[in-house]
Amino acid sequence: MANFAKFGNELYSGKRSFDIVGHRRRWFAIAIGLIVLSGLLVGIRGINPGIEFRGGSEFTVSGTSNPDPQLAQDALAEVNSEQVARVTTVGSSAIRVQTEELTDTETSELADLLAEAYDVPAGDVTSSFVGPSWGADVTAKAVQGLVIFLVLVTLVMALYFRRWSMAIAALIALLHDLVITIGLYAGVGFEVTPATVIGFLTILGYSLYDTVVVFDKVRENTEGVLDQTRYTYAEAANLAVNQTLVRSINTSVVGLLPVASILFVGAFLLGAGTLRDIALALFIGMLFSTLSSIFIATPMEVVLRQRDPKIAAHTAKVLELRERRVAEAEEVGLSADEVLAGSRAGGLVAGRHLGQGAQPRRRAKR
Q: What is the DSSP string of 197-221?
A: HHHHHHHHHHHHHHHHHHHHHHHHH
| Percentage of the residues of the chain whose pLDDT score is greater than 70 | 83
Give the lowest-confidence range in 23-27, 187-191, 308-312, 358-362: 358-362
Higher pLDDT, 203 or 340: 203
Q: What's the confidence (pLDDT) of residue 356?
A: 42
Q: State yes or no: pLDDT of 358 exceeds 50.
A: no
Strands (E), the chain: 56-62, 86-90, 94-99, 125-130
Q: State yes or no: pLDDT of 201 exceeds 70.
A: yes
Q: What's the confidence (pLDDT) of residue 49?
A: 84
CA neighbours within 13 Å on the CB side: how many for 328?
8
Q: What's the confidence (pLDDT) of residue 363?
A: 43
Cα–Cα distances in angstroms (integers) from residue 217 to residues 163, 238, 301, in the given order: 14, 10, 13
> Which pLDDT band, with edges at 50, 70 and 90, does 42 fall under?
very high
Most confident range (mean pLDDT) of 45-59, 71-85, 295-309 is: 295-309
Q: State yes or no: pLDDT of 266 exceeds 90.
A: no
* 141-155 confidence digits (pLDDT tens): 878 888 888 888 888
Residue 53: name the closest of 130, 132, 129 by CA: 132
Q: What's the confidence (pLDDT) of residue 309?
A: 92
Q: Which domains does the chain have, with CATH numbers?
A: 19-49+134-307 (1.20.1640.10), 56-130 (3.30.70.3400)
The pLDDT of 61-72, averaged and rounded, is 85
| Percentage of the residues of the chain whose pLDDT score is greater than 90 | 22
* 221-259 confidence digits (pLDDT tens): 988 888 888 889 999 999 999 988 888 888 888 888 888
With a threshold of 0.85, does the pTM exceed it? Answer: no
The pLDDT of 131-139, averaged and rounded, is 72
Q: State yes or no: pLDDT of 301 exceeds 90.
A: yes
CA neighbours within 13 Å on the CB side: how many for 180?
26
Identify the three-state secondary structure at position 3.
helix
Give dist(CA 91, CA 269) in Å, integer. 6
- AA identity, residue 120: V
- AA identity, residue 340: L
Q: How many CB atoms lie within 10 A of CB 303?
A: 16
Q: What's the confidence (pLDDT) of residue 267?
A: 63
Helix axes 298-305, 164-188, angle to 10 degrees: 140
